[in-house]
Structure 1
Amino acid sequence: MKTIYKLILKSYFGPMIMTFFIVMFVLLMNFMWRYIDELVGKGLSAGIIIELVGYALANMVPMGLPLSMLLAAIMTMGNLGENYELLAMKSAGMSLPKIMKPLVIVVGIIAVGSFFIANNLLPYTNKKMLSTLYDIRQQQQTLEFQDGLFFNGIDGMSIRVGHQDSHTGLLTDVLIYDNREKNTNNMRTIVADSGYIRLTDDKRYLNVTLFHGQNYQQTRNIQWYSNSTLEHHIFDKQDMFVPIEGFDMQRSDADNFSGRSQTQNLAQLERAIDSLERIVDSTTTRSYEPLLRDQIFSKDPSVLPLDTLYGRDKRAFRPFLAADSLAPLALREKARLWTQARNAAKNSRSLFSYDESAAKDALNQLYRSKVEWHSKLSLPVSILLFFLIGAPLGAIIRKGGLGTPIVISVIFFVIYYIISSTGQKLTKEGSWEAVYGMWLSTFILAPVAVYLTYKATNDTSLLDTDWYAVKYKAFRAWLGRFGGRFARKPKNTTHK
């Protein structure tokens, strides 16, 4: 490898690693901000949180890699241009494509690796992340008593405390309504001066220790209005172990979420798309054809021919009663016919609504599967595209650091994100084909990359403010000369 190529690669790897971790950190903070309400107050262990963060970071790679490639390319080429190293390379006879050659190879390898990440790693991490989030949502919050308010986080129990000591956890003025015996309709009320209510280590039992209180228990039977008993006990200390559910972390099987589009690879998505297309076709055919044949036009040959309605057996055909023929019928007969027609219409609407909802669900899954299939293929292309935008742009602006490159990178990434989100939304709604919606940003930004590469190769001062100032002054001077020609009027000469 040439020494100059080692210098270029060394200049690129540092910004690439730094910008990748910066971008991933920003995306992680966005993830934590979205799910902070579901993570706080449930007593989750550090291992669960670290596991969830790891799955989330892997899921953010498709968004973080293109942005980091763009920012690193601008910074690398900008630093080389600012230190006149890029000018020295060009003076030695190296063109910009030749200078970018080792970087293109490295970025190509990263782009190929990103495809395997999106196709093999992300489906697994998405399944694990979805199952972990589901388990966290199913887990109830820890015991948090507020002064004077009832805590209803335990089934069949309602607990109110007057005050809880933040250091010792001692509860004062405790009131407990225990209605866990729902089959017998018995209810117990406990009033105590003080006590402790804690979860056991396995979070499967509630350890209740009360001091100086009274226990009221009302026993009811089927004749509670005439035969019921009330028991009253006074205690100095009372211990209870109440079995509870939902406070411990129950891990579900991640394979339960394997049916979603984001948890499948390309081969699985292709099979799912083929199956969903068949389901949509069969559901649509099953919905409209029987509705027309058996419900709406079952006995009307003016819309559908008799062969379509009854096959070759035309003897089963009985025409509708004409409107005039209903007049001589009795009132009860008219009411019976009206009821039959109304019931047939209701049945038709119910059958059609059921099939329509099934078709809509299948269509939504089909659109999402197509979006996920194209997104796995568009990720490597977007990485190469952002590099081909950032490298010539950095060679043009000739400024390194984190100031100008970050501003330019954010602008291009926001444009890319808006276009991609719009195309993805239209694809999921069925307004656009998946190939148009998912590749729209590539079709728009690819000419920009070609234009910037052409300008950087020809050393065009595309972003030089002095160049634009000189051109603007020349344009104003030209306007002044052009306007002065029409301002001077010709002299009037008269011949006597």
Structure 2
Amino acid sequence: MLSSFLFNFFSSFVILMFIFVFQTIWLFIDDFAGKGLDIFIIGKFLFYLMPNLMERVIPLTVLLSSILTFGSFAENYEFAAMKASGISLQRAMLTLIVFVTFLGGVTFYFANNIIPISEQKIYNLRRNIAKVKPAAIISEGVFSDLEGTDMNMKVDRKFGDKDRFLDNVIIHNKSRSSVNTTVIKAKSGELISSEQSDILQLVLKEGHYYEEMPTTNNKEKLKYPFTKANFKTYTINKDISDLNDVDLNEERDVSTDKMKNISRLSKDIDSLKEDNAKVVKAFSKSIVNRIGAFMFVSKPDSLSLIAIANKKKERDSLGTTVSLDSIITLYPEYQKMQLLSTAKTSTANILTTIQGKKKELQIKYKIYRLHILSLHKKYALALSCIILFFVGAPLGAIIRKGGLGLPMVIAIVLFLTYYFIGVFAGNYAKEGNIHPIIGAWLSTLIMLPLGVFLTRRATADKGLISGGNIVDYFKKLFKKVIKTATK
């Protein structure tokens, strides 16, 4: 049984890896085709990407190979012969359980050590390719940062030799403070560069140029000065001398959550949580100081409360009751409107500050959630291999069908269910709609009761659904309804 399972496992692994690699080629074909990259660079990129694909390939391989193995054994009545010889299903599965447990440990090692390294390699390779071939990082329909420049560019279409011709170009040129003060629009453009030149030329045709002018005087800022021009041809020259001698193997110390192992993730989660708490506390203190709100130092006693209540109301010279609770009543009429206007302006400024800080905090907490999600996904991936085995093995024994027909369909349906639940749960966790731990474990925990149910059914030598029991239940229910009606 172990030899049969290993044969199905490795053959399924090779086929599925081949399919996923071709899917990856199809996804990245626009980024690499026609960019002047040799086959060695493309092969290196695919090689670095293969460990990342194992997150999907290994669980699907375990599920498919277990269904194939146990379905073939059940179809040939070998399980019946085992049971007649006194060998239970659990005893027959024992060697496979040991192997799958070992496979779960290997998968955990890959997720913790190999995949972070491959993510780092992929990042560095794509970044270096972008330096050598600037057109490679310009994506159609979205804004892209040009490596080595201060430009942010969006194009509707790329075409021609090495995608150097552009349609409907929009450029945001950043200032020293990283603010987009310059906007350039053109109907078409062309990227001109060569290995011998240190200048990257962007030739734009039939467009408009708009730039906000910096001012130092507050009165001039209220006028919003700007310059605007139309052009038929506009050439932008960028010095890229530091990019000509790019080493495609150069490493950079850049880390995201996917590039870290468990120990690094655990440390960063604690530091991110502490830093976020400090930012929130400092911002809260700043807002409290700006609005002039103060905390009570001590709670007043009962005698003080009585004295305050007696002084709450006083009468003016006309005998009218004046409330001292409202501060504005302490000021004359001509100052009330000024006070209200000042308070409204201050409140609007504070709300604007809070809205801006809210976006910053959302990004910080999203990074924090991504780290927790990545940490628990490593554990969930290892456990999913074991759970999917306990789903596929009894299911194969129940359906009693070998080959690549029905078992392949069932395996794909179950895996897609598992995978899409994980994707949706992960997306919800990233946005903070559910806890990141739940997002990482949800798909695995949903498969756990299914594996327990199928294992119990297969051990008891029962089918997937007992149709006879269902029919008997409805017969009894129908008889009870008839008896009740006749009475």
TM-score band w.r.t. shorter chain: 0.5 to 0.7
Give, as a single letter, the amino acid of the residue that structure 1 aligns with 2:403. G
Match in the other structure for 2:319? none
Instruction: Say if 1:90 and 1:204 are closer, same or farther in 2 by CA, change over 3 A.
Output: farther
Once the two structures are TM-superposed, the CA of residue 295 in structure 1 deviates from its matched residue by 1.3
Alignment of 1:209-220 (within 5 A): none
Residues 371-404 of structure 1, C-alpha deviation per residue, up to 9 Å, x if partnerless?
0000011111000000111111111111111011
Q: Say which of 247, 251, 275 aligns to 2:248.
A: 251
> Mapping of 1:2-81 within 5 angstroms?
8-81=1-74
- What is the distance in 2 between the residues matched to 1:279 and 1:394? 51
| Alpha-carbon distance in 2 for matches of 1:321, 1:100 | 80
Residues in 2 aligned to 1:13 and 1:49: alpha-carbon distance in whole angstroms:
31
Q: Against the structure 1 CA distance between its residues 253 and 296, is the aligned structure 2 distance closer, same or farther, given a 3 Å change threshold? A: farther
Q: Is the 8 A contact 2:198 2:244 kept in 1?
A: no
Quick one: which of 250, 269, 272 aligns to 1:273? Answer: 269
The 2-side partners of 1:328 and 1:69 are apart by: 81
1:295 matched residue in structure 2: 290
Task: Please state how far the C-alpha of 1:18 moved relative to its aligned partner.
Answer: 1.3
**How far is the alpha carbon of 1:429 from its aligned partner?**
1.5
Q: Counterpart in 2 of 1:284?
A: 280
Is the 8 Å Cα contact of residues 283 and 355 (structure 1) preserved in structure 2?
A: no
Q: In the alignment, is the contact (CA less than 8 A) between 1:395 and 1:456 conserved in 2?
A: yes
Which residue is 1:434 aligned to?
Answer: 436
- Assess if the C-alpha contact under 8 Å between 1:39 and 1:136 holds in 2: no
Farther off after superposition, 103-112 or 435-444: 435-444
Counterpart of 1:305, as a letter, is F
TM-superposed deviation, 1:305 = 3.4
* Residue among 438, 457, 461 paired with 1:455: 457
Q: Distance in 1 between matches of 2:115 and 2:16?
A: 18
Who is 1:352 aligned against? 354
Indicate which of 112, 134, 139 corresponds to 1:140.
134
Q: How big is the shift at 1:76?
A: 0.6
Tell me how far apart the structure 2 counterparts of residues 205 and 351 of structure 1 sit (CA, whole Å). 43
**Shift of residue 136, structure 1, vs aligned partner:** 3.2
Deviations 1:307-333 (A, max 9, x none): 89xxxxxxxxxx99625624245x9xx
How far off its partner does 1:113 sit? 0.7
1:336-365 superposed Cα distances (whole Å, 9 cap, x missing partner): x67865664465345434533332221011
Report the counterpart of residue 381 of structure 1 in structure 2. Answer: 383
Structure 2: runs of 5 or more not aligned:
137-148, 150-160, 162-191, 200-237, 300-324
- Classify 1:483/1:53 alpha carbon distance in 2 versus 1 (closer, same or farther; 3 Å): same
Contact 1:426 1:437 in 2 (8 A): yes
CA gap of 1:447–1:474, structure 2 versus 1, over 3 A, is: closer
Q: 1:243 and 1:347, CA in 2 relative to 1: closer, same or farther beyond 3 A?
A: closer
Aligned residue number for residue 147 of structure 1? none
Contact 1:41–1:141 at 8 Å: present in 2 too? no
Give the match's secondary structure for 2:463: coil
Q: Tell me if structure 1 keeps the 8 A contact 2:370–2:436.
A: no
Q: Secondary structure at the match of 1:111?
A: helix
Q: Tell me the residue number matched to 1:125.
A: 118
Q: 1:199 to 1:443 in 2, by over 3 A?
A: closer
Q: Given that residues 287 and 351 in structure 1 are in contact (C-alpha distance below 8 angstroms), is that contact kept between their aligned partners in structure 2?
A: no
Q: Distance in 1 between matches of 2:419 and 2:349?
A: 47
Report deviation, 1:408: 0.8
Equivalence for 1:398: 400
Deviations 1:2-46 (A, max 9, x none): xxxxxx111111110111122222222332222221111201111
Q: Give the counterpart of 1:322 among 328, 334, 338.
A: 328
Specify the alignment match of 1:362 in structure 2.
364
Question: Residues of 2 paired with 1:128 and 1:461: CA distance?
Answer: 49
- The equivalent residue for 2:91 is 98
Paired amino acid for 1:275: S
Tell me the distance in 2 between the aligned counterparts of 1:26 and 1:348: 55
Question: Closer, same or farther in 2 for the Cα pair 1:243/1:376, shift >3 Å?
Answer: closer
1:443, distance to aligned residue in structure 2 (A): 2.2
Post-superposition shift, 1:92? Answer: 1.2
Q: Which residue of 2 aligns with 1:86?
A: 79
CA spacing shift, 1:476–1:388, aligned 2, 3 Å: closer
Distance 1:252 1:353, change over 3 A: farther
Determine the C-alpha separation between the residues in 1 that align with 2:350 and 2:470: 72
Distance change (3 Å), C-alpha of 1:252 and 1:54: closer
Q: Quote how far apart the aligned CAs of 1:280 are.
A: 1.3
Q: Quick check: 396-405 or 261-270, which moved more? A: 396-405
Percent of aligned pairs with the same amino acid: 28
More deviation, 397-406/435-444? 435-444
- The alpha carbon displacement at 1:480 in A equals 9.4
- Equivalent residue letter for 1:388: F
> Whole-Å Cα distance in 2 between the matches of residues 243 and 362 of structure 1?
34
Q: Deviations over 1:188-242 (max 9, x none)?
A: xxxxxxxxxx987x56589xxxxxxxxxxxxxxxxxxxxxxxxxxxxxxxxxxx9
Aligned to 1:86, the other structure's residue is in SS state: helix
Q: CA deviation at 1:411?
A: 1.5
Q: Deviations over 1:124-152 (max 9, x none)?
A: 0001112222333442359xxxxxxxxxx
CA 386–204 in structure 1, closer or farther in 2 if over 3 Å, else same:
farther
**Alpha carbons of structure 1 residues 116 and 486: separation in structure 2 relative to 1, 3 Å:** closer
Structure 1 residues 473, 375: CA separation in 2 closer, same or farther (over 3 Å shift)? closer
Q: Max radius of gyration: which structure?
A: 1
What's the offset of the Cα at 1:80? 1.3
TM-score, normalised on structure 2?
Answer: 0.67
* Structure 1 alignment gaps of length 5 or more: 1-7, 143-154, 156-165, 167-197, 207-241, 309-318, 491-496
Partner residue of 1:305? Answer: 296
Cα RMSD, aligned residues only: 3.8
1:378·1:439 contact (CA, 8 Å) conserved in 2? yes
CA distance in 1, matches of 2:102, 2:330: 81
Amino acid at match of 2:48: Y
Counterpart-to-counterpart distance in 2, 1:16 and 1:306: 70
- SS at structure 2 position matched to 1:381: helix
Q: Which deviates the most, 442-451 or 8-17?
A: 442-451
User: Within 1, Cα distance between the matches of 2:478 and 2:358?
Assistant: 70
User: What one-letter code is carried by the residue in structure 2 that aligns with 1:18?
Assistant: S
Alpha-carbon offset, residue 95 of structure 1: 0.3
